[in-house]
């Protein structure tokens, strides 16, 4: 009996360790991902900085106007080129054969035209001296008209084939610097596909392109002044907004800023920080909480404040707030929250104080 009793004790210990010491009926809670908003200041003067990249204001994408195999590539990134310099070329065997045939056709058409001119002149003189019929004279004029049309068509065909030769080459449209080469030699190129990107090498021709969130894009106008900082250059620069995107790209709206008096050390592709100033100095700033974050119960208005803990896990804290008027961005906060606080904006009914959640990014 003692041996049986000892065996039962050992088995019970193993089961206790295996079950992790959980009490009967206890269920492990899973982390719930929640959408969140941020408590922000609105009104008055507000400054926001957005990241972007510098670029040349005259950046140009170059492409072939015909399909073909690339046989020559005389461009590399950073290379300075002169206007009219040949940068790339396609295989020209087929177009050269077609050009030779067009030259032969044009020469034959020219000979036929010259022959018809001589024949018409001869028949005309015979007709004027009553040595040939009107029918022969009309036939000579018709032959001349056909020969003239054939010669014009042959010349147009020759001009077209000469153009096809030009379509197999990419020439630099301006003097500048190669900023990108998208192909290798012996690749097949499609007509219209960007092959080479080049920029005009001018100190005053530098822009910065930044992505602006939906919240701020309506506050930005063409011609507004901004400040631009480039991490690799100690001095700051002033900028003018020249383009404001109408459609989003990658979740933000593209805005182009032309730098005023940029340094010669700035190159396309450098990270830039552009600082925008919004608001009116005559307006007082107000703390705003998103409207979807505010709930109400018997104790009054509340929000679920998301408190950071560790490894992306946040604790939920039910917090009473005093709210004021409703503005386009949300409710004015009179007490209970601070600028930068994160609050849940969806699924409030499934939340409660002490619950662990993760943030659901848009």
Q: What one-character DSSP code corresponds to residue 167?
A: H
Beta carbons within 10 angstroms of residue 299's beta carbon: 8
Give domain status of residue 7, yes or no. Answer: no
Give domain status of residue 88, yes or no. Answer: no
247, 218: one domain: yes
Say what the pLDDT of residue 16 is: 46
304, 325: one domain: yes
162, 230: one domain: no
Give domain status of residue 153, yes or no. Answer: yes
Give domain status of residue 181, yes or no. Answer: no
Give domain status of residue 84, yes or no. Answer: no
Identify the top-confidence range among 146-155, 232-241, 323-332: 146-155
CB 146, CB 47: distance < 8 Å:
no
Indicate whether 305 pLDDT > 90. yes
Say what the pLDDT of residue 136 is: 86
Give domain status of residue 235, yes or no. Answer: yes
Closest CA to 137 of 153, 149, 119: 119
Q: Whole-angstrom Cα distance, residue 49 to residue 268? A: 20
Q: Whole-angstrom Cα distance, residue 292 to residue 306? A: 15
Instruction: Give the pTM.
Output: 0.49
Q: Where are the alpha helices (DSSP H) in 168-296?
A: 214-217
CB 158, CB 103: distance < 8 Å:
yes
Q: What is the mean pLDDT of residues 76-95?
A: 90
274, 290: one domain: no
Give domain status of residue 188, yes or no. Answer: no
Q: Whole-angstrom Cα distance, residue 79 to residue 178? A: 5
269, 318: one domain: no
Maximum separation of any 2 CA atoms in the chain, in Å: 151
Chain centroid, CA 182 distance in Å: 16
Give domain status of residue 163, yes or no. Answer: yes
53, 122: one domain: no
99, 143: one domain: yes
**Number of domains composing the chain:** 3
Indicate whether 203 pLDDT > 60. no
Tell me the CATH number at 107: 1.10.287.470
Query: Which domain-ending residue is among 111, 146, 167?
Result: 167
208, 275: one domain: yes
Which three-class secondary structure state does DSSP give residue 121?
helix
Q: Whole-angstrom Cα distance, residue 254 to residue 211? A: 5
Q: Whole-angstrom Cα distance, residue 161 to residue 247? A: 41
Q: List the domain range (segments joined by +) for residue 50.
A: 46-58+200-279
Tell me the CATH number at 354: 2.40.420.20
Say what the pLDDT of residue 199 is: 81
Indicate whether 4 pLDDT > 70. no
311, 347: one domain: yes
Query: Which domain-ending residue is among 144, 167, 190?
Result: 167
Over the stretch 109-124, which tens digit does the pLDDT of each residue have?
999 999 999 988 988 8
């Amino acid at each position: 009996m003692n041996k049986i009793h000892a065996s039962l004790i050992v088995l019970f210990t193993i089961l206790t360790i295996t079950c992790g010491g959980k009490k009967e009926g206890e269920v492990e809670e899973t982390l719930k991902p929640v959408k969140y908003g941020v408590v922000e200041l609105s009104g008055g003067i507000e400054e926001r900085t957005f990241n972007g990249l510098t670029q040349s204001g005259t950046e140009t994408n170059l492409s072939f106007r015909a399909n073909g195999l690339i046989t020559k590539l005389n461009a590399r990134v950073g290379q300075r080129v002169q206007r009219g310099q040949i940068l790339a070329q396609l295989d020209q065997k087929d177009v050269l054969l077609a050009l030779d045939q067009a030259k032969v056709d044009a020469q034959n058409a020219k000979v036929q035209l010259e022959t018809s001119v001589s024949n018409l002149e001869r028949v005309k003189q015979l007709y004027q001296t009553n040595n040939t019929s009107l029918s022969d004279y009309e036939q000579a004029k018709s032959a001349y008209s056909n020969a003239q049309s054939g010669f014009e068509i042959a010349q147009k065909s020759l001009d077209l084939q000469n153009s096809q030769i030009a379509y197999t080459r990419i020439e630099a449209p301006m003097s500048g610097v190669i900023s990108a080469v998208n192909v290798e030699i012996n690749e097949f190129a499609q007509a219209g596909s960007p092959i080479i990107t080049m920029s005009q090498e001018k100190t005053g021709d530098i822009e910065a392109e930044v992505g602006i969130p939906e919240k701020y894009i309506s506050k930005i106008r063409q011609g507004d002044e901004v400040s631009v900082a480039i991490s690799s250059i100690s001095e700051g620069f002033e900028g003018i907004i020249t383009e404001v995107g109408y459609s989003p790209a990658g979740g933000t709206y593209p805005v182009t800023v032309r730098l005023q008096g940029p340094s010669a050390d700035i190159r396309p592709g450098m990270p830039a920080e552009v600082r925008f100033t919004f608001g009116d100095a005559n307006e007082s700033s107000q703390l705003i909480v998103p409207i979807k974050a505010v709930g109400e119960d018997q104790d009054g208005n509340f929000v679920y404040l998301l408190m950071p803990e560790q490894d992306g896990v946040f604790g939920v804290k039910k917090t009473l707030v005093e709210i004021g008027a409703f503005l386009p961005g949300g409710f004015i906060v009179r007490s209970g929250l601070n600028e930068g606080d994160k609050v849940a904006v969806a699924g409030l009914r499934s939340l409660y104080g002490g619950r662990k959640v993760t943030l659901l990014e848009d």
